Amino acid sequence: MTEPLLSVRDLRVSYQVGRSKVHAVDGASFDVPVGSITGLVGESGCGKTTVARALTRVIAENAAITGGRMLFDGKDLASLPERDMNALRWRDIAFIPQSAMNSLDPVYTVEYQLAEVLRRRGGLGRKAARERSEALFEMVGIDPGRLTDYPHQFSGGMRQRVAIALALALDPKLIIADEPVTALDVIVQRQILDQLKDLQERLGLSVILVTHDISVVAYICDRTVVMYAGKVAEAGSTVATLNRPSHPYTMGLRNAFPDLAGAASGVLTPIEGAPPNLADPPLGCRFAARCPFALPVCATEPPTVLVEPDHPVACHRADEAAALRIQAANTETWVAS
Ligand SMILES: Nc1ncnc2c1ncn2[C@@H]1O[C@H](COP(=O)(O)OP(=O)(O)OP(=O)(O)O)[C@@H](O)[C@H]1O
Ligand code: SF4
Ligand SMILES: [Mg+2]
């Protein structure tokens, strides 16, 4: 991989809840290459949104970044003074929050909300902001005549396009989109993803796409980062990660989702059980309680090994991945004994 745009190393983020700490991100490392889409995927609660928000440093009041580095364009976002970080937001890094389509302000027109970003953040005058808003609407496939509409006048899919237009407003280098197509029907999902891909290619953008749905990753992402219980289980090119998964969790996820492209994908096999409590995570491999391939050694922290260049896997049995993949393809492997 050429020099990545973003390099996250040993990131740690926790939430204070009463007297205990929820270790939502607990030593995550991954790279985001320039000019491509990186998918951050994993089950609900595995820490995806926490990573995404840590990258923008817009985190919950009870959250703290307690360790690690986030090197973006030569700067460590973890230690950048707030004033410099604020200057990066929207201009260099734009964030589309989870449920973005419901987070547009209902009392203002969409044009007003775009103008806020363009004028306040981008320093554009009224006329330039109007022209840019029209261009942005055209880019995301909405008639600029609808700029003066209020959010409730748009469908869910269109509101998501508006959220993408907002993110594109100041021509950022990196867009972080948190679950941009969740809650949309499959046809609209495909339209939005196709458009995101088209814009990413045309504008040479780098995108982090956060999703719980591995079929979305398979459909659109060049690179895949699989998270489990606050850690990165496996990362690599999407082709390598999904066609030749080396972590049992990735093998299980692949069996559990239908194919977004609509191809027959056979029987879906869920991974039984639930992720561990991140206020008191187990020692050793966090997937062990659900892993059909767990051995006694899995009670110790697994090493992260490279199964091929740019393809790290955190599993004691990564070198046996080819044999485990064959077993993982059998539904019975996943039925708890
Ligand atoms: N403000 C908060 N206070 C306490 N715990 C939190 C807070 N926000 C998230 N968490 C916890 O941190 C963990 C990671 O949550 P996060 O929202 O990052 O997961 P996620 O992977 O984005 O999940 P989802 O797919 O449901 O969006 C979960 O255990 C969650 O309950
Ligand atoms: S380290 Fe052990 S328990 Fe964890 S995924 Fe690998 S084989 Fe399964
Ligand atoms: Mg989330």
Q: State if residue 48 touches ligand 1 by the CB under 6 angstroms criterion.
A: yes
* Residue count of the chain: 337
For residue 263, the model assigns a pLDDT of 46
Q: Which ligand is nearest to the CA of 228?
A: 1
Pocket of ligand 2 (CB under 6 A): 247-248, 285, 287-288, 291, 293-294, 298, 302, 315-317
Q: Which ligand is nearest to the CA of 287?
A: 2
For residue 259, the model assigns a pLDDT of 66
For residue 3, the model assigns a pLDDT of 87
Q: State if residue 53 touches ligand 1 by the CB under 6 angstroms criterion.
A: no
User: Nearest CA to 99 among 146, 139, 56, 52?
Assistant: 52
CA distance 75 to 86: 13
For residue 258, the model assigns a pLDDT of 72
CATH superfamily of 6-92+172-245: P-loop containing nucleotide triphosphate hydrolases (3.40.50.300)
Q: From atom 26 of ligand 1, which residue's Cα is the shortest distance away? A: 44
Distance 130 CA to ligand 1 centre (A): 38
Q: State if residue 183 touches ligand 1 by the CB under 6 angstroms criterion.
A: no
* Inter-CA distances, 299 with 22, 282, 292, 324, Å: 21, 8, 14, 19
**Residues of the chain falling short of pLDDT 70:** 1, 259-266, 337
What's the angle, vertex CA 20, arms to CA 16 and CA 22, rounded to 5? Answer: 60
CB 68 within 8 A of CB 78: yes
80 contact partners, CB below 8 Å, separation of at least 6: 57, 88
